[in-house]
């Protein structure tokens, strides 16, 4: 059975194959396309809406237990916009 994870945006449980993994790697937030980077990960639906929800709720700062700069969030969003459907 597929492991379920909670989307940090909408807080719904989802199978990890349907989620994006976001990691903090070398101090920067990034989308872990391979889902293999080490370190603490956050899980997010492949929807910009969920990314916005997560950003608005400060979910990444909480998930990574440190303050995430707005600049880092902007970079993450830019990455996501290239990958995801609107």
DSSP conformational letter for 18: G
Q: How many angstroms separate the CA atoms of 19 and 13, rounded?
A: 10
Site residues, Zn ion (CB under 5 A): 7, 9-10, 45, 50
Shortest Å distance, C-beta 24 to Zn ion: 19
Nearer to Zn ion, 37 or 48 (CB): 48
Shortest Å distance, C-beta 9 to Zn ion: 4
Shortest Å distance, C-beta 57 to Zn ion: 11
Q: HSE on the CB side for 57, CA within 13 Å?
A: 15
Nearer to Zn ion, 30 or 47 (CB): 47
Strand partners, 28: 25
Nearer to Zn ion, 19 or 23 (CB): 19
Rg (alpha carbons) of the chain, rounded to whole number: 12
């Amino acid at each position: 059975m597929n492991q379920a994870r909670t989307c940090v945006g909408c807080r719904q449980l989802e199978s990890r194959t349907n989620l994006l993994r976001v990691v903090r790697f070398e101090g920067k937030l990034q989308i872990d396309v391979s889902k293999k980077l080490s370190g603490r990960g956050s899980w997010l639906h492949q929807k910009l809406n969920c990314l916005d929800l997560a950003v608005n709720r400060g979910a990444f700062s909480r998930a990574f237990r440190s303050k995430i700069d707005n600049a880092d969030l902007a970079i993450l969003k830019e990455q996501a916009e290239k990958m995801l459907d609107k």
